[in-house]
Amino acid sequence: MIDLFPRKPAVTTEQLQQVKDWLYEVLQINRHTIISMSQLQCTDPNCPPLQTAIAIMSIPHRVIRIHKAISDITYADVVQAIAIKPKD
Protein backbone atom coordinates (compact mmCIF):
# COMPACT_ATOMS: atom_id res chain seq x y z
CA MET A 1 0.00 0.00 0.00
CA ILE A 2 1.29 3.44 -0.94
CA ASP A 3 1.60 5.86 1.95
CA LEU A 4 0.19 9.14 0.74
CA PHE A 5 1.12 10.96 3.93
CA PRO A 6 4.64 9.86 4.84
CA ARG A 7 5.01 12.79 7.25
CA LYS A 8 2.00 11.65 9.24
CA PRO A 9 2.93 8.34 10.79
CA ALA A 10 0.02 6.04 11.43
CA VAL A 11 -1.14 5.87 15.00
CA THR A 12 -2.70 2.76 16.38
CA THR A 13 -5.62 2.81 18.78
CA GLU A 14 -3.31 1.25 21.35
CA GLN A 15 -0.86 4.14 21.08
CA LEU A 16 -3.66 6.67 21.39
CA GLN A 17 -5.11 4.87 24.37
CA GLN A 18 -1.72 4.62 26.02
CA VAL A 19 -1.13 8.36 25.84
CA LYS A 20 -4.67 9.00 27.11
CA ASP A 21 -4.10 6.61 30.01
CA TRP A 22 -0.96 8.53 30.97
CA LEU A 23 -2.85 11.83 30.78
CA TYR A 24 -5.63 10.56 33.03
CA GLU A 25 -3.04 9.25 35.47
CA VAL A 26 -0.81 12.33 35.53
CA LEU A 27 -3.64 14.87 35.55
CA GLN A 28 -5.72 12.77 37.96
CA ILE A 29 -8.87 13.47 36.04
CA ASN A 30 -12.00 11.43 35.60
CA ARG A 31 -11.74 8.75 32.91
CA HIS A 32 -14.93 10.06 31.30
CA THR A 33 -13.20 13.35 30.52
CA ILE A 34 -12.88 13.69 26.78
CA ILE A 35 -9.36 13.98 25.47
CA SER A 36 -8.78 14.65 21.82
CA MET A 37 -5.43 14.46 20.14
CA SER A 38 -4.37 15.60 16.74
CA GLN A 39 -1.08 15.60 14.95
CA LEU A 40 -0.17 18.89 13.36
CA GLN A 41 2.73 20.01 11.28
CA CYS A 42 5.22 22.02 13.26
CA THR A 43 7.03 24.74 11.35
CA ASP A 44 9.66 25.39 14.02
CA PRO A 45 12.99 24.45 12.40
CA ASN A 46 14.27 23.03 15.69
CA CYS A 47 11.37 20.62 15.93
CA PRO A 48 10.45 17.33 14.35
CA PRO A 49 7.91 17.86 11.56
CA LEU A 50 5.00 16.78 13.69
CA GLN A 51 3.62 18.01 16.96
CA THR A 52 0.69 16.66 18.88
CA ALA A 53 -2.01 18.95 20.17
CA ILE A 54 -3.94 17.49 23.07
CA ALA A 55 -7.22 19.04 24.16
CA ILE A 56 -8.43 17.95 27.57
CA MET A 57 -12.10 18.75 28.10
CA SER A 58 -11.88 19.05 31.84
CA ILE A 59 -13.10 22.17 33.62
CA PRO A 60 -11.36 24.39 32.79
CA HIS A 61 -10.31 23.03 29.43
CA ARG A 62 -6.66 22.83 28.74
CA VAL A 63 -4.60 22.30 25.68
CA ILE A 64 -1.08 21.02 25.73
CA ARG A 65 1.33 20.50 22.91
CA ILE A 66 4.07 17.94 22.65
CA HIS A 67 6.55 18.46 19.89
CA LYS A 68 6.53 14.85 18.79
CA ALA A 69 4.32 12.53 16.81
CA ILE A 70 1.84 10.60 18.95
CA SER A 71 3.69 7.35 18.33
CA ASP A 72 6.88 8.87 19.82
CA ILE A 73 5.32 10.27 23.00
CA THR A 74 6.56 8.72 26.21
CA TYR A 75 5.29 8.90 29.77
CA ALA A 76 8.07 11.38 30.58
CA ASP A 77 6.91 13.65 27.74
CA VAL A 78 3.41 13.72 29.18
CA VAL A 79 4.68 14.54 32.68
CA GLN A 80 6.92 17.30 31.33
CA ALA A 81 4.23 18.83 29.08
CA ILE A 82 1.82 19.03 31.98
CA ALA A 83 4.42 20.42 34.36
CA ILE A 84 5.31 23.29 32.01
CA LYS A 85 1.85 24.82 32.26
CA PRO A 86 1.77 27.20 35.24
CA LYS A 87 -0.84 26.36 37.82
CA ASP A 88 -3.30 28.83 39.15
Binding site for Zn ion (CB under 5 A): 42, 44, 47, 51, 67
Residues 32-42: b if buried by 16+ CB within 10 A, e if exposed: eeebebebeeb
Residue 42 to residue 32: CA distance in whole angstroms: 30
Residue nearer to Zn ion on the CB measure, 34 or 40:
40
Residues 6+ away with beta carbon under 8 Å from 38 = 52, 53
Position of minimal CB gap to Zn ion: 47
Residue 31 to residue 20: CA distance in whole angstroms: 9
Cβ at position 35, least distance to Zn ion in Å: 20
Residue nearer to Zn ion on the CB measure, 35 or 51:
51
Cβ at position 59, least distance to Zn ion in Å: 28
Cβ at position 64, least distance to Zn ion in Å: 13
Residue nearer to Zn ion on the CB measure, 1 or 76:
76
